[in-house]
Structure formats: C-alpha cells, structure tokens
Amino acid sequence: EADIYQTPRYLVIGTGKKITLECSQTMGHDKMYWYQQDPGMELHLIHYSYGVNSTEKGDLSSESTVSRIRTEHFPLTLESARPSHTSQYLCASSEFPQGDNYGYTFGSGTRLTVV
Amino acid sequence: GESVGLHLPTLSVQEGDNSIINCAYSNSASDYFIWYKQESGKGPQFIIDIRSNMDKRQGQRVTVLLNKTVKHLSLQIAATQPGDSAVYFCAEKKGSNYKLTFGKGTLLTVNP
C-alpha cells in the first residue's frame, strides 16, 4: 500500500496555465524528491528537500518550483505550463540515513500533458 | 560524466526461465546500489539493495551481484513469472550524499 500520495494522477492543461502537483507522505520522512520521467526513460532529479524550509534544485534544470512548509507535504508548481513540460512527475521520500534501507518510496506519479 | 547505465534496453524471456538484467556504473565512490521495478502506470518499487562491502545479496527469487572490479551490477530473477514484466532500474548512492542516481531502464517481457 502507498504511504506517499500524488494528485492528480493525470492532468491535461492548456499552455500558460499555472499548476501545482501535490505530494504528501505519512511516514514522517525528512527527505523528499521530485523526479521527471519520460515514458520508459530514466528518472531525472529536478528538486529535493532534506527537511522543512529546505529545498534544492536537482541535476536536471527545471522551470518548476517547490516548497516544504510541512514535513509531509512537498508540492511542485509550474507558473506557466508549456508543451515541453509534458512528462511524468514522480515524488519520492526517504528516511535515510535511518533504517537499513536507503531506498526511496515513490508515489504513483502525475502524468502531465500540456496542450 | 559519471552515470549509471544499463547494457540492454529490452529483455524477453519465457515464463519459468531465469532472467539476468545488467547495469554498469562508472563511479568507484558509489557505496550503495538498489534495483527498482516499475510497472506500467506506477512509480518504481524497491526490489533489493546491496552495499559496496558485499558482492552478493539474495531476496525472494531475486539475487543482486556486485562486481566492483569491473563496476558491474546484475539482478537475477529466478523462475520468471508474467508478473515480473516491468521496467527495471538500477540506482546508486555516493557516500553521504542522500541522492540516488538512476540509470536507463531495461524492459523485461515475460512470455507465457
């Protein structure tokens, strides 16, 4: 069962619209991440956070922004959507270095289409 | 640049056969590796991990092998089942860095 939730699952939106992709986790994890993934392709890190009020840009340049006001919530915002933003966006969280497992727990993703 | 990558983009096997999915990495400082499975329409799911001080780790029907000499990682799936059909990714972590770097996926198709 998922302990990290992303909404919406699918979104089709017009060019120029502002959108926010939601991500929430109930595991109390400090670390959260946003990845962008084109179908069948590798995951590219676009934003991450190591705790409340901490956000960093990832390895792939992105026009999106994020915020981390609460531990459980890590929303991603696009101020003005463009067709080039069409992709799948995956949110993940992690408890490392605590625990035996350094892996991430991923949400089911938001598939965004900008027309 | 340094990256994690996979040798084969697709792998097709018969149900009941064993599958081997390979991954090459180039950063000798990587100290932790993970295999993920991603089914269509879902986020990646953790399968198995291995630290760099090990060369083999076994789970349920899965085994991960790490060869640090040639910087190679493999995932072996025993008695592959149709439910194993998915894209498999390897990922690496370097030292105290909490970020994972993912390689390109391998699509595994299991034929009945």
What residue ranges define each of the domains in chain B, with the CATH number in brackets? 4-111 (2.60.40.10)
Looking at per-residue confidence, does B84 or B9 come out higher?
B84
A90 Cβ under 8 Å from any chain B Cβ: yes
pLDDT above 50 for B2? no
pLDDT for A99: 60
- Distance, in Å, from the CA atom of A88 to the CA atom of A106, rounded to the nearest integer, reads 13
Average pLDDT, chain B: 89
CB < 8 Å from B in window 96-115 of A: 96-97, 101-109
Distance of CA B91 to the CA centre of its chain: 7
pLDDT above 50 for B1? no
Residue B1, token pair as written in the block = 């640049």
- Torsion, Cα of B38, B39, B42, B44 (10° steps): -10
- Distance, in Å, from the CA atom of A40 to the CA atom of B9, rounded to the nearest integer, reads 9
| Residue contact B43–A109, C-beta within 8 A | yes
Residue A69, token pair as written in the block = 């006001």
pLDDT for A10: 97
pLDDT above 50 for B3? no
CATH number of the domain where residue A31 is located: 2.60.40.10
Tens place of pLDDT per residue across chain A (115 aa): 559 999 999 999 999 999 999 999 999 999 999 999 987 788 999 999 999 999 999 988 889 999 999 999 999 999 999 999 999 999 999 987 666 667 799 999 999 999 9
pLDDT for A60: 84
User: pLDDT band for position B98 (50/70/90)?
Assistant: confident
pLDDT above 90 for B104? no
User: pLDDT band for position B4 (50/70/90)?
Assistant: low
Domain that holds residue A74: 4-114
> CB under 8 Å to A97, separation ≥6 — which residues?
B98
Pair A56, B98: CB distance under 8 Å:
no
B34-68: pLDDT as tens digits: 999 999 889 999 999 999 999 999 999 999 999 99
Beta pairing class for B10-14 and B106-111:
parallel
A54 Cβ under 8 Å from any chain B Cβ: no
DSSP B83: G
| Number of independent structural domains in chain A | 1
Shortest Cα distance from B2 to chain A (angstroms)? 12
- Distance, in Å, from the CA atom of B8 to the CA atom of B67, rounded to the nearest integer, reads 18
B13 Cβ under 8 Å from any chain A Cβ: no
pLDDT for B6: 45
A10: β partners: A111
pLDDT for A17: 96
Pair B93, B31: CB distance under 8 Å:
yes
Sole residue written with tokens 């981390």: A68
- Average pLDDT on B23-36 reads 90
